[in-house]
Amino acid sequence: MRDPSDYNVRAVERALQILECFDDRHPERGVSEISEEIGLHKATTHRILTTLMNYGYIERAADGQKYCLGLRLSELGFKVVRRMNLRKEALPLIQQMLDQLGETCDLCVYDHGRVFYLDVLQSRHAVTVAATPGQRLPMHCTASGKLFLAYLPADVVSQALDVKLTGYTPKTITSLEQLHQQMEVVRQQGYSVDDQEFEIGLWAASAPILNQRGEILAAVSVLSPTSRITPERSQEIIQALTETTRLISRRFGRT
């Protein structure tokens, strides 16, 4: 039987070697540094870098001379998250939280500047919240959206907020300065809240599922009509929510 590596395409191997030479110690590299690192001719290195740039996998660094990994890689990473065992690990615990609280719960991920609902577990109340899997919601005015903005890398957040912040209700934050202030609060407390910022009469809280490096994989939210929310009830929901996401995060290596 032939060695599987016999089927490798040399040009693809070189492109992968270039991508893998970037790490925490070397987030930015120049052409000469890359070619020396992987033992490739400088002109060939430059051609491959240009191709990777054209597809968004490599970007120019701030100085305009060096290179860094591109946002396209983050998008691929989130696609992997969506097909991994996230549902298998998260849904049983989310179902337990639904049984405890009796409110609609959802599991969502970040997707191209929007919040994407992977799963929605509906409340059994007569008055409930309309939410469906596959639905995409804005970032700046939803509990899960603000959570992603607080935890995602700065370059991803900058791209996600490079749009007009639409005012959906009188409570919607449409100021970037105010939004960044709230993102800092979210980071400090470990959860976010949407009190009628996206839809009048809707309250929601969201907390992150984190991996072992503290990076956000997904968000879990609890949604309720404001008619059922009191200060005591909101604290009950937030406590159950943060405990649930902490348990799920432990399954992904978070201690």
pLDDT of residue 127: 54
Position 126 scores a pLDDT of: 59
pLDDT tier for residue 62 given thresholds of 50, 70 and 90: confident
What is the 3-class SS of the chain, one letter each residue? CCCHHHHCCHHHHHHHHHHHCCCCCCCCECHHHHHHHHCCCHHHHHHHHHHHHHCCCEEECCCCCCEEECHHHHHHHHHHHHHCCHHHHHHHHHHHHHHHHCCEEEEEEEECCEEEEEEEECCCCCCCCCCCCCCEECCCCCHHHHHHHHHCCHHHHHHHCCCCCCCCCCCCCCCHHHHHHHHHHHHHHCCEEEECCCCCCEEEEEEEEECCCCCEEEEEEEEEEHHHCCHHHHHHHHHHHHHHHHHHHHCCCCC
pLDDT for residue 169 is more than 90: yes
User: Is it the case that residue 9 has pLDDT exceeding 80?
Assistant: yes
Mean pLDDT, rounded, for 64-70: 91
Question: What is the β-pairing status of strands 202-210 and 114-121?
Answer: unpaired
**Which residues fall within 8 angstroms of residue 19, CB to CB, at 6 or more apart?**
52, 57, 58, 69, 73
- Check whether 4 has a pLDDT greater than 90: no
Mean pLDDT for 211-215 is 88
Q: Give the model's pLDDT for residue 136.
A: 86
Is the CB of residue 214 less than 8 Å from the CB of residue 152?
no
Q: Residue 6: its pLDDT value, please?
A: 65
Report the mean per-residue pLDDT for the chain.
89
Q: Count CA within 13 A, CB hemisphere, residue 252.
A: 23
Give me the pLDDT at residue 84, please. 59
pTM: 0.68
Least confident of 1-15, 133-147, 150-164: 1-15
Q: Which residue has the higher pLDDT, 8 or 221?
A: 221
Instruction: Report pLDDT digits (tens) over 70-90.
Output: 888 877 776 665 555 788 899
pLDDT at 2 over 60: no
The Cα 81–Cα 26 span in angstroms is 25
User: How does residue 220 score in pLDDT terms, banded at 50, 70 and 90?
Assistant: very high
Q: Is the pLDDT of residue 64 over 90?
A: no
What does the block give as tokens for 11?
């040009």
User: Rounded to an integer, what distance in angstroms lies between the CA atom of residue 241 and that of residue 208?
Assistant: 9
